[in-house]
Structure 1
Amino acid sequence: MEQTTAVPIQLQLHRQPQRKFRRHIWGYLFVLPAIITFALFLWLPIGKGVVDSFYKIDFVKGDSYVGFDNYRTIFKDPDVMTSVKNTLQYMGLGIIIGFWVPLLFAIMISEMRKFQGFARVAAYLPYVVPFVVLYGVWRWLYDPVGPINAALGKLGFDHVLFMTDKSWSMASIVIMETWQSFGSAMLIYLAAVLSIPRDWYEAAEIDGAGIWQRIRHITLPAIKNQILLLLMLQLIATSQGFQTQYAMLDGGPNNATLTYALLIVKYAFVRQDYGVASAMGVLMFFALSILAIIQYRINNRGGIK
């Protein structure tokens, strides 16, 4: 009897994966184009970059294997350390100057009793401004004789050289990007704030809690997970920053805005050293993978408790 009952159980266990595959076959077919696209345009280039990091790339004479020489070049180049410091500064300024802005606007808009819809649209509008227009407008605003310096002069302050002063150049970029991109994060925060039960606020108002007490004891604890998640996303995004630094100042003045990602671009397309650029990309890939793993764990757990 034991043998006759064991065989059907084994067959049933053997058929379970086949049944699951047949049940979800249409789902696999729908996902297949995305997998192929990612493999061709993301995973394959990543693998090719890892291989190229061990070669000296020469499109005329052919590639030659150089081992870890490209990585040694990275650690000997003083511009690499400068770019790392600038990237960390860029990430830090992004948190100090820009991270709290969308959260502040979301809380302010959620507390509005009138014109809330208009405020949402107005706060989001800068996000849809094309980058070409954005750079042109802010270069005019930051000009030594532009509107900002004109206003500072009327208030009795000295003019600020936003684009040519090393102490102001990176902060100026962060201020510009904060104005342009805070609208999307603000909508995420606003959705989280509006999802908080209104009964909590009404109970707090009955108990005599003011607006700051409601924000401190209800709003901020309730959206803590969204705050931490967006913090990780901002760190990942700013660690890859190069477009604005390149378009506005090309890494200047005197390499003050030369970020790590921008140096990779310069190695590849200015110095024509694709091997070193690939090696720098590999190091950046592993660093960002750590942040991506942390972000995944936050998403998987539903936030940090």
Structure 2
Amino acid sequence: MNQSTTVPLRSLDVKPKKPLMKWKRHIWGYLFILPAAVIFFMFLWMPIGKGIVFSFYKIDFVKGDSFIGWENYLRIFKDADVTVSVKNTLYYMSLGILMGFWIPILFALAISEMRRFQGFARVAAYLPYVVPFVVLYGLWKWLYDPVGPINAVIEKIGFDQVLFLTDRAWSMISIVFMETWQSFGSAMLIYLAAIMSVPKDWYEAAEIDGAGVWKRIRHITLPAIKNQIVLLFLLQLIATSQGFQTQYAMLEGGPNNATLTYALLVQRYAFTRQDYGTASALGVLMFLVLGLLAVIQYRMSNKEDA
């Protein structure tokens, strides 16, 4: 009987990689992201840091800056315009949810159930989003004019004309309606992509069991896209809490501060009243609130990925 001999293998010593070796391995990746990181730091985090510092100072370009502690923050809570702007911003956010949040969902559900002309419907719904803002504001000022086409139709059916841009009761509603018409197409595409990712087998099984359109939407589609609904809800809260551009371009906060939002008040403090310290304090408070909403959105996004 032959006796087989085995040659013992020498154990290989695997040396751990040194930090310098890891750095050399990823050096080109770090170099590629370095310009973006520098720009991100210079134009985002540096202004945020300076804004926090300036909120404790009285900014004077002639006599020089002077430290005043919490005085800017105390001035904020005594200013009646701050209370008005917060109420208007909350009202603007509420209108955005009530009037604009559900429209993209409804359009996405309707288009997903179409058997023909689905591509045309997608393009038609998205087209308002590509309209330049300058053209958009001019168009809707003409539509909302007392002698414009909307009031012409209203008077023709027997009602009094509506002063959309000069009546305090209608000004914010008119802005939200215009923004909903202009921007619902982008959110609709996100919902539509989520609906298209639902397995078709689920719908086929539901149709075999006799489920109609509404039952399929209620028991299959809406539960499948609930994470997207929650995330876009938070993103809309973040976006509407910073409402500024439309309110400034259309009405400059009027009539009688009816569309004066918080972000527009920051602009007024900085560039109209030239009180940069109080404007910085207002910006810091907004940064804290938006940071909290961003953390919630980030946690929801991680939960969805998991």
After TM superposition, the score normalised by the length of structure 2 is 0.93
Could you say which residue in structure 1 is the equivalent of 2:228?
226
Aligned-pair CA distance for 1:17: 3.9
| 1:89-100 alignment, distance < 5 Å | 89-100=91-102
What is the percent sequence identity of the aligned residues? 74
Q: Counterpart of 1:128?
A: 130
The corresponding residue for 1:4 is none
- Note the residue ranges of structure 2 that are not aligned, 5 or more in a row: 1-12
Shift in Å at residue 62 of structure 1? Answer: 1.1
Aligned residues between the structures: 294
Counterpart CA distance in 1 for 2:19 and 2:186 is 42
The partner residue of 2:202 within 200, 203, 206 is 200
Mean CA deviation greater in 153-162 or 289-298? 153-162
Greater share of helix residues, 1 or 2? 1
Match of 1:144 among 139, 142, 146: 146
For structure 1, the residue ranges without an aligned partner over 5 or more in a row are 1-7
Q: Which digits, 9 at most, give the CA deviation of each residue in 1:42-84, with x for residues without a partner? A: 0000001011111111111111111111111100000001000
Q: Which 10-residue stretch deviates more, 58-67 or 35-44?
A: 58-67
Q: TM-score, normalised by structure 1?
A: 0.93
Summarize the alignment of residues 111-260 of structure 1 with structure 2, pairs less than 5 Å apart. Answer: 111-260=113-262
Query: Which residue of the other structure, out of 91, 94, 101, is the alignment partner of 2:103?
Result: 101
In the alignment, does 2:51 pair up with 1:49? yes
Residue 277 of structure 2: aligned partner: 275
Shift in Å, 1:19: 4.2
Q: Which amino acid aligns with 1:129?
A: V
Q: Who is 1:261 aligned against?
A: 263
Q: Distance in 1 between matches of 2:275 and 2:281?
A: 10
Counterpart code for 1:278: S
- Displacement, 1:144? 1.2
- Letter of the structure 2 residue corresponding to residue 160 of structure 1: V
Q: SS state of the match for residue 100, structure 2? A: helix
After superposition, the C-alpha distances for 1:244-286 in whole angstroms (9 at most, x for unaligned) are 0011111111111000000000000000100100000000000
Deviation of 1:167 (Å)? 1.1
The equivalent position to 1:37 in structure 2, one of 39, 42, 55, is 39
Equivalent position amino acid for 1:242 in 2: F
Corresponding residue for 2:6?
Answer: none
Which has the greater radius of gyration?
Answer: 2
1:110-143 Cα distance to aligned partner (Å, 9 max, x none): 1111111111111111011111110111011111
**CA distance in 1: counterparts of 2:114 and 2:27, whole angstroms:** 49
Report which stretch shifted further, 247-256 or 146-155. Answer: 146-155
More displaced stretch, 16-25 vs 266-275: 16-25
Residue 74 of structure 2 aligns with which residue?
72
Secondary structure in structure 1 of the residue aligned to 2:246: helix
Deviation string 1:5-54 (CA, Å, 9 cap, x unpaired) is: xxx89x73xx4544443333322222211111111000000001011111
**Matched AA of 2:154:** L
Aligned partner of 2:161: which letter? H
